[in-house]
Amino acid sequence: MTNGAMGERGLLDVLLLQDYNTTVVVLGTTALGLAAGFAGTLLLLRKRALLGDVVSHAMLPGVVAAFMVMRGLGGSGKNLFGLLIGATISGLIAAWLVPVLRRASGLKDDAIMGIVLGGSFGLGIALMGIALNTPGGNQAGLESFIFGKTASMIRADALLIGWGAVVVLAATLLLCKEFRLLCFDEQFAASIGRRVDLLDGALMLIAVAVIVIGLQAVGLILVIALLIIPASAARFWSDGFVPSLVVAGTVGAASGWLGSTISALEAKLPAGAVIVLVTGGFFIVSMLAGTRRGLILRWIQAAGLRRRVRRQHLLRAMLEAGEGVGSVTIDMVCGRRRWTAQHVRRQLRRAQSAGEVLRSSAGAWHLTPSGLTAARRIVRNHRLWELFLIHHADIAPSHVDRDADLVEHVLDAPLMAELEALLEADTTLPSSPHPLGGVT
């Protein structure tokens, strides 16, 4: 596949998978993204995301060593399968070495991971220097494992990725219940007799499988992004274990498809990098727009709460300042709380459009009948909350952070009746910070 040929390819051809080479690349990276989303979610929830980075870097010496061994046995050393077996072995050694070194040294996880990552990658670079100096060594394409070389993917590679993805998905879904248990509560898992070490081993094998099939496409430096980013994005959309897996897989697959398509259209862009950038885009969108804990959702919720609280405070202040139905000036309302005239004007305009206050004459405002009803209700409900706190908070303190509007929804009917009786009879209530005009 030459750059010139790729540059002339039409958008439709690429999107509809009309071109054979492009089809191979797009399907391969899509399958890779799907598998990476699943495996990445497991790593993330097991709090081992960075272990994936250690493993991928540690695959370099394995690849180079496999090349040297195959050369030593008389082959060309370019057999992909052989190279990936070398990568798997050295990756697994690193994954095993991290906990062993941690136990032996007593050092923290991050230090150990830095040591293993740096050490093994350094070893890989050194071995590669030696390999490149042997005759024919510089044609083996060993460097492509570092940064990935998606465009050189052939049908056999895509098939390997596809089968790898199938195995990863099947293993994850079959063991989904066990992984949920392991990732959530390792000690409980051990207490009911689960072999935590075996489960961790299975989880690690799944991650290593994804990294190995991703080496060619995105390279060992960027493959960690494909594991972590879709899994992180999924947390903004889902609250369940299986939904998290599925969303992460979908984000990964979409990134693989979109990224390789973009790179096929614009041949100067390396596919691995574009795929990772697309996942990054998905992450930002998820963080903003996610339906579970996306920023926009949280802003809307916070703004809604702020508006409700301000409305309640305004109506209550109007009621108290105006002794019920009387007109009040903005200054009088400002005096109830530490409000600026500007703030009060804004709140009044908002209440006006809700039909709760009316502007009577120059600068004076009064509550409309519906505003008066609402204000009385708010004051009454606040008093009920206060009574509830005094008499019942010991049984359910978790209820008291609620909105005054919700008092009937949170407390049950008998309790409400009791509180209302108390409110009728009450004279012992500590005086409210704001004198209650026209309420009782």
Nearer to other proteins, 231 or 367 (CB): 231
According to CB under 8 A, which one of 3, 133, 187, 361 is a site residue for other proteins? 187
According to CB under 8 A, which one of 27, 45, 207, 319 is a site residue for other proteins? 45
Interface segment toward other proteins; rule CB under 8 A; list 235-243, 329-337, 367-375, 420-428: 235-243
| d(C-alpha 256, C-alpha 148), whole Å | 14
Is 398 near other proteins (CB under 8 A)? yes
| d(C-alpha 272, C-alpha 143), whole Å | 14
Instruction: Give the residues across from 329 on adjacent strands.
Output: 364
Nearest approach in angstroms of CB 175 to other proteins is: 7
CB atoms within 10 A of CB 316: 24
| d(C-alpha 44, C-alpha 60), whole Å | 23
According to CB under 8 A, which one of 2, 133, 191, 361 is a site residue for other proteins? 191
Nearest approach in angstroms of CB 398 to other proteins is: 5
| d(C-alpha 224, C-alpha 50), whole Å | 8
Is 291 near other proteins (CB under 8 A)? no
Nearer to other proteins, 5 or 170 (CB): 170
Q: Which residue has the tokens 């459009």?
A: 353
Helix/strand/coil for 79? coil
Is 174 near other proteins (CB under 8 A)? yes
According to CB under 8 A, which one of 76, 105, 136, 177 is a site residue for other proteins? 177
Instruction: Give the residues across from 364 on adjacent strands.
Output: 329
Nearer to other proteins, 171 or 277 (CB): 171
Nearest approach in angstroms of CB 207 to other proteins is: 19
The DSSP code for 403 is -
Q: How far from 360 is each of 10, 367, 368, 407, CA to CA, in Å? A: 68, 10, 10, 33
Nearest approach in angstroms of CB 306 to other proteins is: 21
Nearer to other proteins, 180 or 310 (CB): 180
Return the amino acid letter for 275: I
Return the amino acid letter for 210: V
Starting at the earlier edge strand, list the strands of the sheet with 357-359: 328-329, 364-367, 357-359
Is 96 near other proteins (CB under 8 A)? no
Nearer to other proteins, 325 or 389 (CB): 389
Is 107 near other proteins (CB under 8 A)? no
Nearest approach in angstroms of CB 242 to other proteins is: 9
Nearest approach in angstroms of CB 174 to other proteins is: 6
- The alpha carbon torsion through 380, 384, 386, 387 (nearest 10 deg) reads 130
Nearer to other proteins, 240 or 335 (CB): 240
Nearest approach in angstroms of CB 99 to other proteins is: 16
Is 349 near other proteins (CB under 8 A)? no
Interface segment toward other proteins; rule CB under 8 A; list 70-78, 92-100, 234-242, 415-423: 234-242
Helix/strand/coil for 111? helix
- Direct distance between the N- and C-terminal alpha carbons of the chain, in angstroms, rounded to an integer: 85
Mention every residue, 6+ apart, whose C-beta is less than 8 A from residue 41. Answer: 230, 231, 234, 244, 245, 248
Is 414 near other proteins (CB under 8 A)? no
Return the amino acid letter for 219: G
According to CB under 8 A, which one of 107, 395, 400, 429 is a site residue for other proteins? 395
User: Where does residue 67 rank: exposed (0-12), middle (13-18), buried (19+ CB within 10 A)?
Assistant: buried
Tell me the DSSP string of 178-215: HHHHHHH-HHHHHHTT--HHHHHHHHHHHHHHHHHHHH
Is 331 near other proteins (CB under 8 A)? no
According to CB under 8 A, which one of 12, 104, 361, 394 is a site residue for other proteins? 394
Interface segment toward other proteins; rule CB under 8 A; list 61-69, 74-82, 232-240, 409-417: 232-240
Is 190 near other proteins (CB under 8 A)? yes
| d(C-alpha 385, C-alpha 396), whole Å | 12
Is 283 near other proteins (CB under 8 A)? no
Is 397 near other proteins (CB under 8 A)? yes
Nearest approach in angstroms of CB 48 to other proteins is: 13
**Interface with other proteins (CB under 8 A):** 45, 47, 174-175, 177-178, 180-181, 183-185, 187-188, 190-194, 235, 238-241, 243-244, 394-398
